[in-house]
Amino acid sequence: MPDGIMIGNFEIKFYGIIIMIGALMAAWLSSREAKKRGIDPEMIWDMLPWLLVAAIIGARLWHIFTPSASLVALGIDTKYYLTHPLDAINIRNGGLGISGAVMGGALALWIYTRVKKTSFATWVDIIAPGLALAQAIGRWGNFLNQELYGRPTNLPWAIYIRPENRLPEYANVAYYHPMFLYESIWNLMNMALLLYLGKKFKYKLYRGDIFLIYLIVYPLGRFLLEFIRLDPSNIGGINANQTLMAVILILSAAAILIKHTLLKERFVPVSEEIRTPLPEPK
């Protein structure tokens, strides 16, 4: 199976195409959410290039500083990337960490909202469902790259991994858990949940709550899936991704609990801040 589309001597990787599709679908959904809140949806398309660039930089940096065990075994560790800058910026064959992407995108959004003098908490709520959608779509890039698969299995939905993409210790094993698919489905469920809660409980939710719920649901799924992952990113013998997910989940759950108990007098429901939704174009 080809890895991309050739245009002359230049190859456009399917991996990159899928990431762009995910970003555009996320922007489309976010623009609809903005309109529902009476906010100009064109702001989404204005901020998209900045968020996308920052997310890719953050995703690559996360990969560089948390390389997988198999890459480290091949001598491709953080030190290697820092001494081989061209390899460090080469993302054509993958090597992006979603944790870094979210951090990079959030930082760019925070700067954007400061410049535009608008609410960061409101915008992360607007973007959260679209972010989950982008993740669900983006995971199919892992499928095309034959990466992010789980432990060997003989379940009916097991996926075949080509010999050149198998870990050395599993060279003779052909079928594995489709971890990318599990996470894609989990992200779609997360998107649906965020949209439902935003509509059903708009009279009870405060600004930032939708994003905090995203930061509970996604890390929970990722934490559990790391148990079947074959090639974790270890730092000092600790699974970096799984540990980070656990920390984010706990802190986000604590934050939303404190907001709705000890600090509830400081907040007003989102419904009281939402302006009249913008009319549909004729």
Of all residues in the chain, what percent carry a pLDDT higher than 90? 60
Instruction: Work out the pLDDT band at 279, boundaries 50, 70, 90.
Output: low
pLDDT value at residue 268:
67
**More confident call, 9 vs 53:** 53
Least confident of 17-31, 213-227, 258-272: 258-272
Mean pLDDT over 16-39 rounds to 93
- pLDDT tens by residue, 220-250: 999 999 999 988 888 878 888 899 999 999 9
Would you say 96 and 20 are in contact if contact means Cβ atoms under 8 Å apart?
Answer: no
Q: Say how many residues make up the chain.
A: 282
Q: Is the dihedral of CA 256, 260, 264, 270 positive or negative?
A: positive
3-state helix, strand, coil in the chain (%, to 5): 65, 5, 30
Q: What is the pTM of this model?
A: 0.89
| Residue 160 DSSP SS3 | strand
- Cα–Cα distance for residue pair 121/196, rounded to 1 Å: 18
